Structure 1
Amino acid sequence: MTAQSTNNDSSFVLHYMKAMGRAVTIRVMLHLKGVKYTNKVITAEEVAADRAALPFGQVPVLIETKADGTTLELGESLAIEHYLAEKFGWLGTTPEESAILKSISLNIYFNLYNNCFVPKTPIHESIADPSSVFNTKTLPLFIATQERWLMKNGNNGHCWGDKLTYPDLTLLHWIRLFEGLGVKLDEEGPIKKVEKTVMAMEEWKGKFEAYHPFSSIDAI
């Protein structure tokens, strides 16, 4: 399945399963930028059968072919996201801005991923339990930290400046993931304002719901 192409000088092949999963933000980036890319479906069984064929024995893997024919093979979802964010202009214009934007995104990711998907208790059970670590610590800290950053930026629907940056997309992913699991966020709060701002971008081309964390490439 191939997205619409533009005059970008590279084409991309993303190796991952049909589910959005850990590749959702990568696919969102490629879609919003309008570059030429193909989803190469690889099953868990295929990964297990030939891990040596992949950079780190797992997916996602992104292969970029540049205009001069050279290729880049890149593994690890966060590394791929950081590379595309920088390539597409979503990591600021200076090393200092880039470091700050990465720090915001990584704070979101590590605090939520480590507390939601590493523990043995399934996340949907943690959400349903008012006394769980998720409800008493993880979620309140996430909300307080992100609201502080967003208010510092003027509560304008962006994490940094007045246009789309990488942490906007990171935050969007976790907002949609949590809401899909039943977490209720303040509709008038600064976190939801980011979702509404990014959702209104014309670059989605009517595909906002198709690129949901719980969706698959069949919807694209």
Structure 2
Amino acid sequence: MDEDWELYYWPGFPGRGEFVRLVFEEAGVKFRDMRDMVGVGGISRLVLEGELGGFPVLAPPVIKKGKFQMSQTPAICRYLGKEFGLYPENAEDEAHADQVNLTIHDYIAEGRLAFHGMNHTASYYTQKEETKPYIERFVKDRLPRFLKHFETLLVAKNGGKDFLFGDKLTYVDLALLHVLRATEAQFHEAWLEADYIPALKAFKDRLSARPRLAAYFESKRCLPFEGNSMT
């Protein structure tokens, strides 16, 4: 297949599509971000209403190359990580990568739902007052629980000076980078006060400075976080 990769995700905010973008960007693999080409209506029609055709998908993000396409963010990143060499080198690390990747997505899913506590599919702005207790509970109880766990995972390998699985960067490191950036943006005060995750904070800064990622983060293609959700 000589076609370029395509990414279908909602326009206007990073969202779960950002997990996928970071894999493409770090790998230096060309892709077309279809959000600006087809807009909200196009994503709805192509993905939600099934006009994209091919193997059935439920919701964005969707990656497509030629006749191949797939959805589900954790599965997409795992697949692309393997395709692009951002993948663990042994069976044990591969299994643990699955574990950590799913935990990362549990974390961001809980964070998102905190902003949609009364209605999971409605806009945050329709339930701002009602959802405040959910956000406060997430910041107080769930956010530190997950961050402490990620710190423990990182420090377990070489004292946290490298990556989650030693000296090789994987798709899971990129997923962790995204949720840490989202945490800093969405819960800035809690992030600043989190003195219990020094390795994680250094990890975020170190990965953000990688040449391809730094160039992406400084570009107009990298959209700011909206401030009304974890994604």
Taking structure 1 as the reference length, the TM-score comes to: 0.77
Secondary structure at the counterpart of residue 191 of structure 2: coil
For residue 166 of structure 1, the aligned residue among 158, 168, 171 is: 171
Asked whether the equivalents of residues 127 and 135 of structure 1 are also in contact (C-alpha less than 8 Å), the reply is no
Question: Could you tell me how far apart the structure 2 residues matched to 1:62 and 1:31 are?
Answer: 14
Question: Deviation at 1:196?
Answer: 1.3
Which of 14, 20, 23 does residue 20 from structure 1 map onto?
14
Matched-pair contact (CA < 8 Å) for 2:64–2:70: yes
8 Å CA contact 1:12, 1:37 repeated in 2: yes
In the alignment, the residues of structure 2 paired with residue 192 and residue 205 of structure 1 have an alpha-carbon distance, to the nearest angstrom, of 16
Partner Cα separation in structure 2 for residue 14 and residue 56 of structure 1 = 13
Give the residue type in structure 2 aligned to 1:189.
P
Report which of the two has the higher share of helix. Answer: 2
The letter of the residue matching 2:172 is P
User: Which residue of structure 2 lines up, in the alignment, with residue 56 of structure 1?
Assistant: 57
CA distance in 2, matches of 1:125, 1:212: 27
What is the aligned partner in structure 2 of residue 144 from structure 1?
148
The CA deviation string for residues 199-220 of structure 1, in whole angstroms up to 9 with x for no partner, is: 12122362224435628xxxxx
Q: Is the 8 A contact 1:158 1:168 kept in 2?
A: yes
Structure 2 gap segments, 5+ residues each: 119-123, 227-231
Q: 1:203 aligns with which of 212, 219, 226?
A: 212
1:99-143 Cα offsets, whole Å, 9 max, x none, are: 111211211211341354265165998998699321232112112
**Pairing 1:57-206 to 2, within 5 Å after superposition:** 57-65=58-66, 71-117=67-113, 120=117, 132-153=136-157, 154-181=159-186, 182=188, 183-185=190-192, 186=194, 189-204=198-213, 206=215
What are the ranges of 5 or more consecutive residues in structure 1 without an aligned counterpart?
1-8, 66-70, 216-220
Letter paired with 2:83 = K
What is the root-mean-square deviation in Å for CA atoms of aligned residues?
A: 3.2
Query: Which residue of the other structure, out of 35, 41, 48, is the alignment partner of 1:45?
Result: 41
- Counterparts of 1:149 and 1:201, CA distance in 2: 21
Query: Matched residue of 1:43: which SS?
Result: helix
Specify whether residues 39 and 48 from structure 1 end up closer, same or farther in structure 2 by C-alpha distance, changes over 3 A only. Answer: closer
* Structure 1 counterpart of 2:121: none
Alignment of 1:31 onto 2:43? no
- Structure 1 window deviating more from structure 2 (104-113 vs 121-130): it is 121-130
Contact 2:6-2:65 within 8 A present in 1 as well: yes
The residue matched to 2:85 in structure 1 has which SS?
Answer: coil
> CA offsets, 1:176-195, max 9 Å, x none?
11111124244770111111
Distance 2:110 2:213 in 1: 30
Residue identity opposite 1:148 in structure 2: T
User: How many residues align structurally?
Assistant: 203
In the other structure, the counterpart of 1:3 is: none
Q: Normalization by structure 2: what TM-score?
A: 0.74
Corresponding residue of 2:229: none
Superimposed CA distance per residue, residues 26-84 of structure 1 (whole angstroms, 9 cap, x where no aligned partner): 1111112111211122333334445122432422221124xxxxx41112222211111
